[in-house]
Structure 1
Amino acid sequence: MPRAIWKGWLAVGQVSCAVALHAAASTSDRVSFHTVNRQTGNRVRREFVDAASGKPVPREDQVKGYEVAPNEFVQLDPEEITAAVPESDKCLRIDCFVPCREVDGAYFDKPYYLTPAGEAAEEAFGLIRDGLKAKKAAALARTVLFRRLRTVLVRPHGAGLIANTLNFDYEVRSSEEAFADMPRLSVKGEMLELAKHIIATKAGRFDPAAYDDRYDAALADLVKAKLEGRKPRRKAAPKKAGQPEDLMAALRDSVAASERPRRRKTG
């Protein structure tokens, strides 16, 4: 298990245990680039300059600024910002329990694995984990993580727990606004039955390993080709999707296409 990025306590009423937080997802293995000078091959250094004078600004003269009017800022020193951040007591204090499916996925931010921090915490940790499993529930907790007060959803996950930080309500855009211009349609009859049939014939299970990062793989192949002095492989252009002129005919063709593999198997 990678090194913990946070250690603290998980508390339910008077029951508490020491826990460690580990990143559940990482982008460190993605292909990444530096900006370099085409002429010299040297890396380019980023520099902050004054927007009006164009002169470089030394690090000691750089402060955060909140814009209150066009080109008018309230300046905030690092010490002032630090003093305004809530103090952390290193405790994930559970407020309440909710059904696992009750929290809308739009509120999910980042996932982390929660493990007991030491043998002394294992019994209480297992009690909380198994209690959540038995009730098919998730716990809503709050704590200061990475200098921000965060709401965290804690759920059973294999032998441990998974903790998702949640977006605040003001950060999640309204779905009603997004769908406001959509017409109210009710699909019935043969068209709906054909759609249900297509969904049934293409039923499967989610396997994360089956969905590769083609963009990252293509970049890795490009870099390798440049190092070897060869031309990178050309990828076949994907078939462009378009609006069918006859939706019913397109549904029937899709049903026929989904039936062919089944006929070959039974044949």
Structure 2
Amino acid sequence: MHTMWKGSISFGLVNIPIKLHAATENKDIKLRQLHEECKSPIQYKKRCPVCEREVENEEIVKAYEYAKNKFVVLDEEDLETLKKEQEDKAVEILDFVKLEEIDPIYFERSYYMSPTEGGSKAYGLLRQALKDTNKIGVAKIIIRSKEQLAIIRVYENTLLMETIHFPDEVRQVQNVANVPEETELSKKELSTAVTLIDQLTEEFDPEKYKDEYRSALLDLIEAKKNNEEITTAKEKPKPDNVTDLMEALEKSLEKTKGTKKKTTKPKTPAKSKTKTKKKTS
């Protein structure tokens, strides 16, 4: 498994060097967006609306918007220093609690913990102690530049770390609209509902549940492949120097139209003609 964090966990004077590995994976089927006309993948570019041009990654800085269009710019060096100061600290288990005391709404992501060199005995010690006491550890850890609250528990034969939300990250249930305070129910209605729940109650078996939509979507994709209902994106046309030159010249001509002032020749004064009268004898 890929190591996504390396450090140490401590409780009391016991220090355990460990690695974290993602315990779950997202198996959603990712669909690309194509231009319907030519079936080419759509690109998304970073663009500055003020400068009206595409922006490169090295031109981008991070900032915190403390008011509308008011920002505090944070240097990358400052962020890295702050991150390193926190990551270099050993992750200390702050408290031990019972798992059932934490509501599932707090749980976020799960990570397997494995001991690194010299940490096997301490790892086994914590694992057995958690099993014997039926407790879990509560700790703090920095993952991907964010401080996380986490719990450490035993899963099968492995120590598992689960990041959990801080209390202020869980929205107040009182803000949910249209939740009835009390509902008038007859004894028969409630008795029937309880009986139905009892009839459908059984031991939880995760293998029983399948992602039927994902399976159906994969079957549909495979069927279209087999029927050769496929498309190939058109290659981006290579620039033609001659065409580009002509286009540039034509655009230049368009820009220069109407920019030159028309010059008119000055009118020359008309010569006066004198008529001579013939003498009569």
Match of 1:138 in 2: 136
Q: Distance in 1 between matches of 2:67 and 2:149?
A: 32
Instruction: Tell me the TM-score normalised to structure 2 length.
Output: 0.72
Which position in structure 2 is the counterpart of 1:102?
101
Name the amino acid aligned to 2:207: A
The match for 1:30 among 28, 36, 52 is: 28
Deviates more, 1:159-168 or 1:29-38: 29-38
CA 170–39 in structure 1, closer or farther in 2 if over 3 Å, else same:
same
Aligned pairs (5 A) from 1:245-256: none
2: CA distance between counterparts of 1:179 and 1:99? 32
Residue aligning to 1:113:
112
CA positional deviation for 1:185: 2.7
Structure number, greater radius of gyration: 2
2:9 is matched with which residue?
A: 10
After the TM superposition, which parts of structure 1 deviate over 6 Å for at least 4 consecutive aligned residues? none
**Residue 122 (structure 1) aligned with residue 120 (structure 2):** yes
Contact kept, 8 Å, 1:110 with 1:164, in 2: the verdict is: yes
> What residue number does 1:19 align with?
18
What SS does the corresponding residue of 2:48 show, helix, strand or coil? Answer: coil
Secondary structure of the structure 2 residue equivalent to 1:195:
helix
Q: After TM superposition, list the pairs within 5 Å mapping 1:59-208 onto structure 2.
A: 59-85=57-83, 86-89=85-88, 91-118=90-117, 120-178=118-176, 181-185=179-183, 187=185, 189-208=187-206
CA apart distance, 1:138: 0.7
* CA distance in structure 1 between the aligned counterparts of 2:39 and 2:30, rounded to whole angstroms: 17
Change (3 A) 1:17 1:150: same
Contact residue 34 and residue 43 of structure 1 kept, 8 A: yes
**Matches of 1:182 and 1:114, distance apart in 2:** 43
Paired with 2:145 and 2:159, the residues of 1 have a C-alpha distance of 23
Residue identity in the other structure for 1:25: T
Task: Quote the residue 1:217 is aligned against.
Answer: 215
Q: List runs of 5+ in structure 2 lacking aligned partners.
A: 230-281
What residue is the counterpart of 1:238 in the other structure?
Answer: none
> In structure 2, do the counterparts of structure 1 residues 221 and 156 end up closer, same or farther at CA, with 3 Å as the change threshold?
same
Structure 2 SS opposite 1:101: helix
Q: Which amino acid aligns with 1:104?
A: D
Instruction: Give the distance between the partners of 2:133 and 2:177, measured in 1 at CA.
Output: 35
How many residue pairs end up in the alignment?
A: 228
Assess, with a 3 A threshold, how the Cα gap between structure 1 residues 40 and 146 changes in structure 2: closer, same or farther.
same
Q: CA RMSD, aligned part only?
A: 2.4
Could you tell me which runs of 5 or more consecutive residues in structure 1 were left unpaired when the two chains were aligned. Answer: 232-267
CA distance in 2, matches of 1:205, 1:128: 29
Per-residue deviation at 1:22?
1.2
How high is the TM-score relative to the length of structure 1? 0.76
Structure 2 CA distance for aligned equivalents of residues 214 and 52 of structure 1: 47
Distance 1:38 1:66 in 2: 38
| 1:163 partner SS | strand
Amino acid at match of 2:140: R
Q: Is the 8 A contact 1:66 1:73 kept in 2?
A: yes
Shift of 1:67: 2.6
Q: Determine if contact 1:142/1:152 at 8 Å carries over to the other structure.
A: yes
Contact 1:96-1:140 within 8 A present in 2 as well: yes
2:93 alignment partner AA? I
Q: CA deviation at 1:202?
A: 0.9
Shift in CA distance, 30/84, structure 1 to aligned 2, threshold 3 Å: same
Contact 1:90–1:144 under 8 Å retained in 2: no
Fraction of identical pairs, as percent: 28
